[in-house]
Structure 1
Amino acid sequence: MAGQALIDHGRLLDAFGQEVELLVEAARIVPADTPVPTCPGWVVGDVVRHVGSVYRAALGWLVEGRRPYEWQRDPAPGQTDESYVRQGFADLREVLEWHDPAERAASWWPADETYGFWCRRMAHDTTVHRVDVESAGGLEPTGIPDDVAIDGVDEALTLWFGHRLPMLGLSGTRAGSVAVHTGDHSWIARAGPAETVARRCSEDDVKGADVVVTQAPATVYLWLWGRQRLGAVDVDGDDDDAVGQLWALMRLATR
């Protein structure tokens, strides 16, 4: 384990590679011009090329030591989308394998400026977009292992909700706290005009929240990313508005 991840770096790197294969396999089956409802305005080909592009952007952060401004954003002339993704992954994986995950690296999250951050970020980006492609094609969804999903819940709340929203200057309209509990892990997310924060917490802390959201790890993970409907999780408590606000804010954070 390194940085903020809840699971071992090697495990994440393996999961990353497996998700690349699942994405490529789904993209072979689903026509490239198929609309992707979870990514409005995009078709499957756009999703695949986006993934290949973000791999190169991540590599730019690592190699240049700062936010990159130029990278190969589309396949080269004559290069297939699959080749574009595979080559981007291969180049990024080589760098990630050669560096200790705890080694300092430039990133856009001050709480985790490590090589491990990029392994984690790219693993989850690939997983979510693999789900997008499978869903767009009506394919039987491939399961997400519990340990990967739990780490994804943690990243969604602590990075996207707790950091990305404040960075964008976005906040809730009413004060409310939502506890999220899945797979023996718990978090508290607080939103309102005065704060937008999320942190890991104990089960005892959960009792102090206005409402508690629970479900299987993969369901909670995809729910936070807007890949499950609002009512896909179980809610314990009467403050439905707090849950709706969390879900809506996550849509703004991850768009």
Structure 2
Amino acid sequence: MTRLAYDRYRAEVARQLALFRETLTGADLTVTVPTCPEWTLGQLARHTGGAVRWVDAHVRTRATRHIPESDVPGFEGPGDDDPAGLDAWLAETADLVDAALRDASGDTAVWTWGAEHTAGFWARRMTHEVAVHRADAAIAAGVEYGVDPEVAADAIDEWLDIVRYVQHNDLADRAGELRGGGRTVHLHAVGADAALNAEWVVELAEEGVVWRRGHEKADVALRGPLTEVLLAFYRRRGLDSGRVEVLGDRELLEFWLERASFG
């Protein structure tokens, strides 16, 4: 599928960080994040900001190799859960990465952990990194979450590409199990978002995961508003949340969700 434009991704990284900061406003930073139970909300915020600063360091320096987190200035963020200090750090983080991405182009050569070694990879990756962690924050804070439909659809495209990359490069044993038999999963966005052709068919082929956009009969379908399909597919909401429907072989969908991985 055609990706969003590089400048759109750059703008989205800044926008998602601004919305992330809004989500934290007035929230209890000591609460446990239900979707990431190893973190408090404050720790989630520092993880997210640190990830963005790590990417900024790579893009800004045109890195040709991995930069350790310990070499990234300000990576760990504030040492406590002072809301003002955390917000200021996130605001500075947004300014830093926006400047780095503005000074690059989508084709600028930069080290990445993926197959594509460009600043464009990082702009796309950070758009969805922050957007999904913003959902984690919203769930922990008990506030509503929404995301632009084009961004949500591209997040699903990227997630499927990542799972395929992890599988083909043997980066996670469980992802390697997502193959064989031609079994299929259909993701189906309904309502206003359907006009975006926001439907996917994921096939567990003998050679590995393959996917395409489109409406086809499948062994199991995950159906609902696009944002909710995204959150369920990213394991941010359970299949029994009441916000999505599962039609067909639910065990196959659960099989996928248990094994799809960043590696």
Q: Report TM bin, short chain.
A: 0.7 to 0.9
Paired residues for 1:91-130 under 5 Å: 91-110=96-115, 112-130=116-134
Matching residue of 2:93: 88
Among 47, 52, 57, which residue is 2:49 paired with?
52
**1:180–1:190 distance in 2 versus 1, CA, 3 Å:** same
Q: Distance in 1 between matches of 2:138 and 2:65?
A: 34
Is 1:138–2:150 an aligned residue pair? no
Contact 1:149 1:221 in 2 (8 A): yes
Q: Which runs of 5+ in 1 are unaligned?
A: none
Contact 1:124 1:152 in 2 (8 A): yes
Give per-residue Cα distances to partners, 1:141-188, cap 9 Å, x unaligned.
1321111110111111111x2123442232337743213233313433
Matching residue of 1:249: 259
Contact 1:49 1:84 in 2 (8 A): no
1:131 aligned partner, one-letter code: A
Give the TM-score normalised by the residue count of structure 2: 0.81
Give per-residue Cα distances to partners, 1:185-231, cap 9 Å, x unaligned.
34332348x5541322443xx33x42333322211111111112124
Give the TM-score normalised by the residue count of structure 1: 0.84
Matching residue of 1:162: 164
SS in 1 for 2:177: coil
Give per-residue Cα distances to partners, 1:71-116, cap 9 Å, x unaligned.
2431267992222222222111111112221333221110x32211
Deviation at 1:45, TM superposition (A): 0.7
Matching residue of 1:71: 72
Q: Distance in 2 between matches of 1:243 and 1:152?
A: 18
SS in 1 for 2:171: helix
Q: Distance in 2 between matches of 1:224 and 1:25?
A: 25
Deviation at 1:247, TM superposition (A): 1.7
Contact 1:187 1:200 in 2 (8 A): yes
Contact 1:27 1:133 in 2 (8 A): yes
* Percent of paired sites with the same residue: 23
Contact 2:239 2:245 in 1 (8 A): no
Matching residue of 2:210: 198
Q: Distance in 2 between matches of 1:113 and 1:55?
A: 17
Is 1:151–2:154 an aligned residue pair? yes
Q: Distance in 2 between matches of 1:33 and 1:254?
A: 27
Among 245, 252, 255, which residue is 1:234 paired with?
245
Tell me how large the CA RMSD over aligned residues is. Answer: 2.5
Matching residue of 2:233: 224
Deviation at 1:5, TM superposition (A): 6.1
Deviation at 1:254, TM superposition (A): 4.9
Matching residue of 2:23: 26
Matching residue of 2:186: 179
2:251 aligned partner, one-letter code: D
Matched pairs, number? 242
Contact 1:156 1:224 in 2 (8 A): no
Q: Distance in 1 between matches of 2:184 and 2:107?
A: 32
Give per-residue Cα distances to partners, 1:17-57, cap 9 Å, x unaligned.
22111111222211211111111121011011001110121
2:245 aligned partner, one-letter code: D
**1:202–1:143 distance in 2 versus 1, CA, 3 Å:** closer
